[in-house]
């Protein structure tokens, strides 16, 4: 607000005929501010670039462990099924592969999900 | 100062509380720092909202920004209905955030660097999702494991994969936070140890110690970023999982 006023005064002093251009500029500035405001997250302040960085970092940190967790769960379930049913090593092999698939599914879901949110 | 980088994660008994059979229950340093985190959160929020200025003071805007952050995350990932979980999600966020940030201060204990803590938090979310999902949607909740429009011959495999994917959630949820905090603090301690080790080697060593010292400063800043980000990631995932409990149809 303050800076807009100051800039408006300055413009008036130098070029009084440019009212229309000035209001158009103010309008576009307002639009850009709105855009920045809607993109801005309260945590990092007004710089949209750092907000993007933060979203990217958050995504990277999330993705790193999705795949591993799936494989671990699959392997654990397979191992316990083998011990319980005596089907070694088939349960382990099958569930390790299924766990890998589930991990990949999680990975792709969280990646896709973020893309969705950015599109909004 | 102990050079052992794992030393900082040791649980120390402070006050013995009670004895259950052979197991003794102590008030530990971990419990002390959990209480510290809760007290700091309470002080921050109560102190910030005591004045209720129309134009917020600095502290008040911190509290407002935190509220807005969690509320908008919850609304955008789980919808308006999910706001009934807001107290739960906000408590989780503040607890993890405070534990992480307090842990950066030297000589403190990082509560979230123990997997038992993060696993307890992640399992709370996990069981909240299951119990609320079944209570709210009944058997419809299990549609989560069978997306619509799947051919019958594919169904058994899809169900197993979806089930595994669902079960792996609390693991990735808890391991992510715990591993990041643990790894960050060990790195910081090791690099800090280089400064002390090289500094004790005389003049040339002291000059050489400037590089790890600069690295320690940079790492501390990075750790602060990671601490806040991890709390945020933990919250986002909680919201996404709660979304499944509220809208199980995908």
Flag if B164 and A99 touch (Cβ within 8 Å): yes
Mean pLDDT over each residue of chain A, to the nearest integer: 71
Instruction: With a cut of 90, say whether residue B144 has pLDDT above it.
Output: no
| Domain definitions of chain B by residue range | 7-246
CA distances from A25 to A5, A12, A28, A40, B62 (A): 13, 13, 5, 22, 33
CA distances from B205 to A13, A83, B202, B210, B236 (A): 63, 57, 5, 9, 46
Backbone angles phi, psi at B15, to 5 degrees: -130, 125
- Rounded-to-integer distance, Cα B160 and Cα B157, Å: 5
A61, A98, A120: residue with CB nearest B233: A61
B16 pLDDT band, cuts 50/70/90, is: confident
- DSSP-derived 3-state class of residue B14: strand
Average pLDDT over residues B31-40: 93
Candidates A49, A58, A59, A35; CA nearest to A109 is: A59
| pLDDT tens readout for residues A61-96 | 777 788 888 899 999 999 999 999 988 788 899 999
A42, A65, A102: residue with CB nearest B161: A102
Flag if A62 and B237 touch (Cβ within 8 Å): yes
Per-residue DSSP letters for B177-203? Answer: HHHHHHHHHHHHHHHHHHHHHHHTT-H
Say how far residue B10 (Cα) sits from the centre of its chain: 19
A78–B contact, CB cutoff 8 A: no
Flag if A62 and B233 touch (Cβ within 8 Å): yes
- Taking the CA of residue B77 and the nearest CA in chain A, the distance in Å comes to 9
- Rounded-to-integer distance, Cα B246 and Cα B174, Å: 22
At B95 the pLDDT is 95
Instruction: With a cut of 50, say whether residue A10 has pLDDT above it.
Output: no
A81–B contact, CB cutoff 8 A: no
| pLDDT tens readout for residues B117-138 | 999 999 999 999 999 999 988 8
What is the reported pTM? 0.76
A65, A95, A102: residue with CB nearest B165: A102
- Rounded-to-integer distance, Cα B207 and Cα B219, Å: 20
- Taking the CA of residue A26 and the nearest CA in chain B, the distance in Å comes to 25
B162–A contact, CB cutoff 8 A: yes
B237–A contact, CB cutoff 8 A: yes
A57 → chain B, closest CA residue: B229
């Amino acid at each position: 607000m303050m800076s807009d006023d100051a800039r408006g005064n300055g413009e008036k002093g130098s070029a009084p005929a440019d009212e229309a251009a000035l209001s158009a500029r103010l309008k576009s500035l307002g639009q850009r501010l709105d855009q920045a405001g809607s993109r801005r997250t309260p945590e990092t302040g007004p710089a949209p670039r750092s907000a993007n960085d933060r979203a990217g970092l958050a995504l990277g940190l999330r993705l790193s462990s999705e795949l591993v967790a799936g494989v671990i769960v699959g392997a654990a379930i397979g191992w316990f099924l083998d011990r319980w049913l005596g089907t070694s090593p088939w349960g382990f092999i099958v569930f390790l592969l299924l766990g890998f698939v589930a991990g990949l599914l999680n990975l792709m879901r969280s990646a896709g999900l973020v893309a969705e949110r950015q599109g909004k | 100062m102990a050079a052992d980088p794992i030393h900082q994660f040791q649980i120390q008994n402070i006050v013995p509380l009670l004895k259950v059979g052979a197991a003794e229950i102590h008030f530990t340093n971990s419990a002390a720092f959990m209480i510290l985190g809760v007290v700091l959160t309470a002080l921050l929020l109560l102190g910030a909202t005591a004045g209720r200025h129309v134009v917020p003071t600095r502290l008040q805007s911190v509290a407002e920004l935190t509220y807005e952050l969690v509320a908008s995350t919850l609304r955008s990932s789980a919808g308006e209905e999910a706001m009934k979980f807001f107290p739960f999600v906000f408590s989780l966020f503040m607890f993890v955030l405070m534990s992480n940030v307090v842990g950066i201060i030297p000589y403190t204990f990082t509560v979230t660097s123990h997997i038992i803590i993060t696993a307890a938090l992640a399992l709370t979310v996990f069981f909240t999702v299951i119990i609320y999902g079944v209570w709210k949607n009944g058997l419809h909740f299990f549609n989560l494991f069978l997306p619509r429009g799947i051919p019958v011959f594919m169904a058994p495999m899809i169900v197993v994969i979806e089930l595994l994917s669902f079960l792996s959630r609390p693991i990735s949820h808890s391991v992510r936070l715990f591993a990041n905090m643990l790894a960050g603090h060990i790195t910081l301690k090791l690099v800090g140890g280089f400064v002390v080790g090289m500094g004790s080697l005389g003049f040339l060593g002291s000059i050489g110690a400037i590089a790890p010292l600069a690295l320690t400063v940079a790492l501390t800043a990075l750790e602060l970023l990671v601490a806040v980000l991890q709390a945020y990631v933990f919250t986002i995932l909680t919201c996404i999982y709660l979304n499944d409990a509220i809208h199980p149809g995908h």
